[in-house]
A and B are shown apart, each in its own frame.
Chain A
Amino acid sequence: MIWKILNVVFILFATLWAAGSISLFKKNETKISKYLTIIFPGIANILLAVFIAFLWTKLERPPLKTMAETRLWYAMFVSLITWIIYLKTKSKPLYLLGFIMSSVFLLIDILKPEYQTKNLMPALQSPWFIPHVVIYMISYAVLAAACLTVLIGVYNTRKNKTIDTQNIILSMNLVYPGFGLLSLGMIMGAVWAKIAWGDYWSWDPKETWALLTWLFYLICIHLHHAFPKKQKLLMILLAFSFIVLIITWLGIRYFPNGLSSIHVYG
């Protein structure tokens, strides 16, 4: 029942973003088309937020437990963050990529629905649950925007044969807050783990992968700081760091130690 509503939400969401994209690439830019470019995805964001709120009341628990539920939040934050960045930078490619990325994650939820339950195991019944997961999802979305920006940078660099410094700076400006949020999420997770299990860090595969993601972004920040001229290396590393992030979030089960993790999504 809930997933049937998601179908409708997705169609509306994608249509709104698509309409925004059409007015974005309209040849004769008018004042109205400028407004529509901004307003359409804005409504799409509200729509998704309302759907999550609906899911929350329907499930009688925060919808942050399963992989499908985290993908929903992620889609919302990617959509919201790329929209906000567009308002500030007017970057057209990022607008499109943000639209595509959030739609893809919603589409995965529609094609691969998961078993929905109101049940929440006792360890998850904690005031740390919501801030820990939500902050991680915002961080992942900000870092996704950083990755998309750097991909645009790579494309421009190849096309123009000069390094696209502007997009690297924009990307790094996203990496800083993304990394800050990653740290906040990780420390909250550590404090919560201590309260629930008695250890703030237990080298569980999920924790180790999370540390790896954190270290990769830390290296990006320090590379940018110590070797500002190594821009090509930085671009590669930024893209690669996001791959590590995606593995941490969605793919650890495919690695040797992954399946023994206690942090697998319910």
Chain B
Amino acid sequence: MANNSKSKYIFALMNYSKWKIGFLIPVSLIAIGLLLQITIGNFPLHFFDFPTNLIVISEVFIVVLLMYFFLRKYLAIKFLSSGYAALSALVLLTFCVVGMVLIPQNHNDNGILSMLGLNDIINSWFYALSILFLLISLGLITVKRLFPFNIRNFFFFLNHFGLWIVLAFGNLGQADKTNIQITIPEGELIWYGYDKNNEYFEPDFAIELTEFIIDFYPPKLALTNNKGEIVNPKIFQPTDLVKNERISVLDTEIVVVDILENAITTKDTVLRVMGLPEKTYVAILEINGEEFFIQNGTSFQPPVFANLNNQYNLTMLNPEPKYFGSDIRLYTKSGISNQKHLIEVNKPLKIESWTIYQTSYFKSPEYKSYISVFTAVYDPWLKIVYTGFIMMFVGAIYLTFSRNIKSKKQK
């Protein structure tokens, strides 16, 4: 009898304090986080490179298992494995993300925001602690729901443990990740790049850019007002400039006599120029029996437009790239030499532990040809994070197509 009332009392206490604990943990984590932030600075992610990250993640994993199998009678553990803790961990993480979208994440800022880590939340202590809290709570809930093992709990496991893996390895795995940008002018061989902090880095390979291949969509004719703004598409929709086609602009018929690639114009004459640093076109237009030249603008040549009337001008828009890719030759320290490859957007090249992406290109007046921009990424934890993604994906399909309990109860 006495025992019964005692358990009742504990239960009442637990119910009473759930909200409070659920509130106190995130608040104290934020306080600890801010304190660490002020004293130490950003969360030292670089300390967590392999094998430290694996050890830490394994420790959290083992602690979660020990907590569940040996300590689950205790109130604190009961709380941590409850929906209350899940909710407070989620709210804490949400707070961090709200901060990221509302506070400018400008890392060079040196004011109070920087001291509190609020201008770089992703590298802050309170973000790290919120992830830790979530990993413990999420871990405990995942283990708890493994029993009894049934279909619903299986998908619950996929959703929750998948997220656990993504959070753990996606965050701490960053410590081992190297992401460098390599810029190569046509015809040159480059064996180095710069990482996200703009520091020099030499990977295990070198790339020679044999040819940069680029293809453009046809240039477009647009109507602009006297301020140079493109007019509302209701008045005129920008249209492809195609040789011999007729375009009707505000009841005026325009004939596209010719389109010249790699040319510039001075309104009166057209010059064909080879090796221009940027793509230029000249269109010869016939308006009411008279010929006009228009040309797109580049960083070294202003645009040339034709007056349609005293309100509007006919302007050529800069051509947009349709395709770009790089023909390269690859050399590695492991002995690959002069190996031919084509790297395109959305078609990266895997080479040993690196993946090389075609991310961008530019032209500079110093070089007559294009300069190709590659991103090379070394991310040893990718496969594990993807395992988490796949688990979440399957879990999400289940969430989408299964009816939840309430509707079943209702029936």
Q: Which residue of A lies closest to B356 (CB)?
A: A198
CB of B320 within 8 A of CB of A184, answer no
Total A-B Cβ pairs within 8 A: 149
CB of A226 within 8 A of CB of B238, answer no
Q: Does B102 contact A (CB under 8 A)?
A: yes
Residues of B within 8 A of A216 (CB): 94
Most chain B CB within a 10 A radius of its CB, from A113, A114, A252, A257: A257
Q: Does B48 contact A (CB under 8 A)?
A: no
CB of B90 within 8 A of CB of A113, answer no
Q: Binary interface profile of A, 125-139, with partner B (CB < 8 Å = 1, else 0)? A: 110000000000000
- For window 103-138 of A, CB contacts with B under 8 Å fall at 113-123, 125-126
CB of A225 within 8 A of CB of B83, answer yes
Q: Is the interface of A mostly helix, strand, loop or mixed?
A: helix
CB of A125 within 8 A of CB of B97, answer no
Q: Which residue of A lies closest to B409 (CB)?
A: A169
Q: Does A201 contact B (CB under 8 A)?
A: yes
CB of B83 within 8 A of CB of A226, answer yes
Residues of B within 8 A of A215 (CB): 90, 93-94, 97
Residues of B within 8 A of A205 (CB): 101
- Which of B5-13, B268-276, B301-309, B321-329 is the contact stretch? B321-329
Q: Does B375 contact A (CB under 8 A)?
A: yes
Q: Does A191 contact B (CB under 8 A)?
A: yes
- Which of B39-47, B186-194, B228-236, B289-297 is the contact stretch? B228-236
| A119-B320, A122-B322 given; A113·B234 CB < 8 A | yes
CB of B396 within 8 A of CB of A126, answer no
CB of A118 within 8 A of CB of B100, answer no
Residues of A within 8 A of B397 (CB): 180, 184
CB of B357 within 8 A of CB of A196, answer yes
- For window 205-241 of A, CB contacts with B under 8 Å fall at 205, 208-209, 211-212, 215-216, 218-219, 222-223, 225-227
CB of B404 within 8 A of CB of A173, answer yes
Q: Does A53 contact B (CB under 8 A)?
A: no
CB of A197 within 8 A of CB of B217, answer no
Residues of A within 8 A of B395 (CB): 183
CB of B375 within 8 A of CB of A197, answer yes
CB contact between B101 and one of A177, A184, A212, A225 (< 8 Å): that residue: A212
CA distance A119 to B238 in the complex (A): 12
Looking at the assembled complex, report how far the CB atom of A194 sits from the nearest CB atom of chain B, in whole angstroms. Answer: 8
CB contact between A198 and one of B122, B348, B400 (< 8 Å): that residue: B348
Q: Point out residues on A near B: beta carbons under 8 Å.
A: 1, 3, 113-123, 125-126, 169, 172-173, 176-177, 179-181, 183-184, 187, 190-191, 194-201, 203, 205, 208-209, 211-212, 215-216, 218-219, 222-223, 225-227, 252, 255-257
A-B residue pairs in contact (CB < 8 Å), sample of 9:
A113-B232, A113-B233, A119-B320, A123-B346, A173-B406, A173-B407, A183-B396, A187-B393, A219-B90
